[in-house]
Structure 1
Amino acid sequence: MTANGHRRDGWLFATLAAVTVVTAIVSSLGAPLVPSIAADHGVSLATAQWALTSTLIAAAAATPALGRWGSGRLRRPVVLSGLGVVLLGCLLAAVAEQVSGMGVLIAGRALQGVGLAIPPLALAVARDAWSGERLVSRLSLLSVATVAGAGLGYPVAGVLAEVSGVAGAYLAGAAMVTIALALGWRHLPHDAEGEPQAVDLWGVGLVGLGLVGALLAVSQGSAWGWTSAPVLGLAGGGVALLLWWGARSIRLTRRGRQPLVDLVLAARPALLRIHLFTVMIATAMYTLLTLVVLLVRGNGDAGWGLDRGATSAGLVLVPYALLSIAGSRVALRIARRSGPRVLLPLGGAVFASSLVLLALAHGTFWQALVVMAIGGIGSGFTFSSLPMLMVPHVPRSETGSALGFNQLMRYTGFAIGSAITIALVEAYGGDEAAFRWTALTLAALCLASAVAVTTGGSERVSRQRT
């Protein structure tokens, strides 16, 4: 390779790394800031939590859509357009307090959720640009960069919120996205081959609106009344939209057309168990993150809370991000020795233990750090093992569709966990016992999912080379 070739190669990798790290950092400008957002905008924690929930719902709908649009020659414009949407979202969130409040901030955070759909496209660019050992090395580094970016983003968000307020945190996010966008404009390749796949826009809308309706009903049930007309209407409407999406997707598949995701494939028994496990463990994961942030920021008036600032709320999430990476490495070694089937039940049990520990010991900051470290190990075990468990059950030509649906389930679980945490605490009474029972409820969910996935069968299909 010539000197110019080396420079182009280095700039391309730096660009892809910047895109993955920056989108991860921006996505993390939610969890540590929720209490600050509630205070700045004068809203309840349940309402402020939508600054996180909206991001995850948008990611659930946008990930399969951008994956299809960016599957061929439109990959570069899709990545650049996605970064532009994230930039707009950061600017909207930054001016929300001066403009018209929470609605603008939630809309901005939803636009930022599009950024979570961009890292898979960065990996696709890497697969086109490199091969052999260089490809393996760079894919590994880019995958780690996503987790490391989130781990870096949590304390950065906390520090920025304390120094320059919530608006300052989002303006800093806008500056980082601008740099990534400039690098992408300059260095992303123009010559990707293949035609983009069709995108089921009706499916995107139905998934997004259905999740918003159902989760808004759950998050506001205590405030509005669980039997009130708005809650029942939102819940019924949200479920109806999701059922409509499911029936429509199956109908499109049977007619030979492309839905947003292939539900017929996802319903195969072996895959269905994994997808359901993914939803449950992802729900528990975001419940853990939300509970720990609320614990760190809480002033103790409800009988629990450490009364610390936004910086501490960001720092407490770092062990989770770092130990997720370590857990994924340990999981690979366990899989080589004992097979991958032990990883999901083991990961579910480890994650459940972190929630049990949180319920029993939550009086000091170091206890919260230990809880997050254990949760990170459980997360690393589970999420790193999902692809290796799914691949044997689908033909090679359908692997992308199966993994895409699992990603949708992951973000859906994240959104559910974000929305239900405060609702559960309030439903249990809001005091320390309520905090404890919320953690134990999700621990039971983890254990139940671990048992369910352990009792599943082991059917496989031929890995056709088509």
Structure 2
Amino acid sequence: MSDAGGRPRLLLPTLALLTTITAVVSSLGAPLVPSIASAYDIRLTTAQWSLTATLLTGAVATPIVGRFASGRLRRPTILAGLAVVTLGTAIAIVPTSYGVLVAGRAMQGVGMALLPLAIAVARDAWVGEPMNRAIALLSVTTVAGAGLGYPVTSLVAELGGLPAAYALGTVLTGATLLMAWRHLPGSAEPVPMRVDWAGAVLLSLGMLAVLLAVSEGEVWGWTSPRTLGLGLAGAAVLVGWVLWTLRSATPLVDLRMAVRPGVAAPNLVALIAGLGMYCLLTLSVVLVRADEPGFGLAMPVWVAGVILVPYSVMSVLGNQLARGARVTLGPGFLLPTGCLTFLASTVLLALAHDHLWQLLLAMGIGGVGSGFTFSSLAVLMVPHLPQAETGSAMAFNQVLRYLGFTIGSAASVALMAAYGGRSHGFEMTLLTVSSLFVVAAAGAVALDRAAPRRAAALPTA
């Protein structure tokens, strides 16, 4: 069945379901980490890899999929990506070993790379205001889906255990795969761009080494040869990746574009806001589940899911507030406001976390900051980009956001342990994250002021 424009009638619902894959993947992560640690009898920092592996895969897969899936390969790439995610959730159902679970979670991270492809399909299928409404809907479903996914999957895990939660994920991703196979159109665009596979390998190895050193430093010792050697080796590989990328004719991401006037500030904020957001979400789950003398609310896993509801609802409100602020106060107001709102959330939670209502209030404020920040990134970047380079620049911004998610996931629990754990470690970790938001707000203001002066000296094509 097709509509009057020749599009499959269920194309928009299919794309909306596709964009919830990111929410489904994330909802099978943070709230379940303490349950995974208990089920597999492992440390919390080790269990955190069930979330970090997903985010790491998403960070690496996004630019690769974005390059590979242009042109006629877009539809088969989306279908293949959904198949990988479905298989990953199915693998996680069977309680075999923690290594198998992490492998399944890493496969689920491919779903995080599919959001830009869904938006690309919408751009081809609609024009004008219908296209704007479709893209806005796809953006909202990721936030709303997370708000629904966290409590639902947490409740399912509470009633049926971890296998039931991953079985729910398998059903949802399998249904999405069937819908996409039936209703997703092909593309008549030319041959896709080349993928810098060497750059992808370097980026993956470098990030993996650094994150492994950060997450395991507490056990190995922060000054041990293993921790220092792995961390320095990872940093060296990342430097090598930068040099390789700058010389590549077909780079995985265009690093030169990342520091252009008007683009540098959104990229800086995407990285730090992503890091801070996942620190906030991860530590909130730790607070809900912890039951230690002087620290923790000792509540079940479904409550860990419910805490994201005010965050998601207020993110939508933050998005609406950002639209009004852009018109009345100007675009330069958006990113500093988002960062300072995030700052208020983390400082509040660091100072007051003895009751659930305090946590819910902090999460609501953080949601406003999230809506202000993440909804503004594309709006601020696009006027400073040539049309042909918009897709590449937005993909890199999304990679930075996923890198922030990954670092925040791996570093939050490790940093809390390094500060001594319990209430003191919790407070100091949040205050450390708060200082990063100050840096991001100041950097956004400085870069925004420098942009008009520098833009005049740059070519526009």
Alpha-carbon offset, residue 346 of structure 1: 0.9
Counterpart for residue 117 of structure 2: 121
Alpha-carbon offset, residue 268 of structure 1: 3.1
Aligned match for 2:411, one of 397, 417, 420:
420
Counterpart for residue 46 of structure 2: 47
Alpha-carbon offset, residue 458 of structure 1: 2.4
Aligned equivalents of 2:187, 2:435: Cα separation in 1: 50
Counterpart for residue 229 of structure 2: 233
Aligned equivalents of 1:383, 1:461: Cα separation in 2: 27
Aligned match for 1:292, one of 284, 288, 291:
284
CA contact (8 A) 1:59 1:115 kept: yes
Aligned match for 1:156, one of 143, 152, 158:
152
Alpha-carbon offset, residue 271 of structure 1: 2.9
Structure 1 position 431 matched with structure 2 position 422: yes
Structure 1 position 66 matched with structure 2 position 31: no
Secondary structure at 2:192 match in 1: coil
Alpha-carbon offset, residue 278 of structure 1: 2.0
CA contact (8 A) 2:317 2:371 kept: yes
Range 434-443 or range 16-25, more displaced? 16-25
The CA RMSD over aligned residues, in Å, is 1.9
Alpha-carbon offset, residue 230 of structure 1: 2.1
CA contact (8 A) 1:93 1:170 kept: yes
Aligned match for 2:380, one of 355, 370, 389:
389
Counterpart for residue 207 of structure 1: 203
Aligned equivalents of 1:56, 1:323: Cα separation in 2: 23
Aligned equivalents of 1:271, 1:120: Cα separation in 2: 18
Secondary structure at 2:9 match in 1: helix
Secondary structure at 1:134 match in 2: helix
Provide Cα deviations, 1:47-73, integer angstroms capped at 9, x if missing partner.
011111111111111111111122211
1:28 to 1:462, Cα distance in 2 relative to 1, 3 A: farther
1:248 to 1:191, Cα distance in 2 relative to 1, 3 A: closer
Counterpart for residue 458 of structure 1: 451
CA contact (8 A) 1:274 1:390 kept: yes
Alpha-carbon offset, residue 463 of structure 1: 10
Structure 1 position 169 matched with structure 2 position 165: yes
Alpha-carbon offset, residue 3 of structure 1: 7.3
Counterpart for residue 308 of structure 1: 299
TM-score w.r.t. structure 2 length?
0.95
Counterpart for residue 342 of structure 1: 333
Secondary structure at 1:299 match in 2: coil
Alpha-carbon offset, residue 270 of structure 1: 4.7
Unpaired segments ≥5 residues, structure 1: none
- The correspondence of residues 2-41 of structure 1 with structure 2, limited to 5 A, is 5=4, 9-41=8-40
Alpha-carbon offset, residue 462 of structure 1: 9.3
Secondary structure at 2:46 match in 1: helix
The residue type equivalent to 2:89 in the other structure is: C
CA contact (8 A) 1:397 1:465 kept: no
1:328 to 1:463, Cα distance in 2 relative to 1, 3 A: farther
Secondary structure at 1:455 match in 2: helix
The residue type equivalent to 1:237 in the other structure is: A
Alpha-carbon offset, residue 104 of structure 1: 1.2
Structure 1 position 245 matched with structure 2 position 241: yes
Aligned equivalents of 2:354, 2:245: Cα separation in 1: 48
CA contact (8 A) 1:394 1:461 kept: no
Aligned equivalents of 1:272, 1:22: Cα separation in 2: 29
The residue type equivalent to 2:374 in the other structure is: F
Aligned match for 2:344, one of 331, 334, 353:
353
CA contact (8 A) 1:347 1:382 kept: yes
CA contact (8 A) 1:396 1:465 kept: no
Range 22-31 or range 238-247, more displaced? 22-31
Counterpart for residue 180 of structure 2: 184
Secondary structure at 1:35 match in 2: helix
Counterpart for residue 313 of structure 2: 322
Range 389-398 or range 400-409, more displaced? 389-398
Aligned equivalents of 2:254, 2:429: Cα separation in 1: 34
Provide Cα deviations, 1:310-361, integer angstroms capped at 9, x if missing partner.
1000000111112112101110110011111111111111100000110111
Alpha-carbon offset, residue 194 of structure 1: 2.5
Counterpart for residue 364 of structure 1: 355
Counterpart for residue 82 of structure 1: 81
TM-score w.r.t. structure 1 length?
0.94
The residue type equivalent to 1:374 in the other structure is: I
The residue type equivalent to 1:272 in the other structure is: A
Structure 1 position 132 matched with structure 2 position 128: yes
Aligned length: 457
Aligned equivalents of 2:388, 2:187: Cα separation in 1: 24
Alpha-carbon offset, residue 145 of structure 1: 0.9
Unpaired segments ≥5 residues, structure 2: none
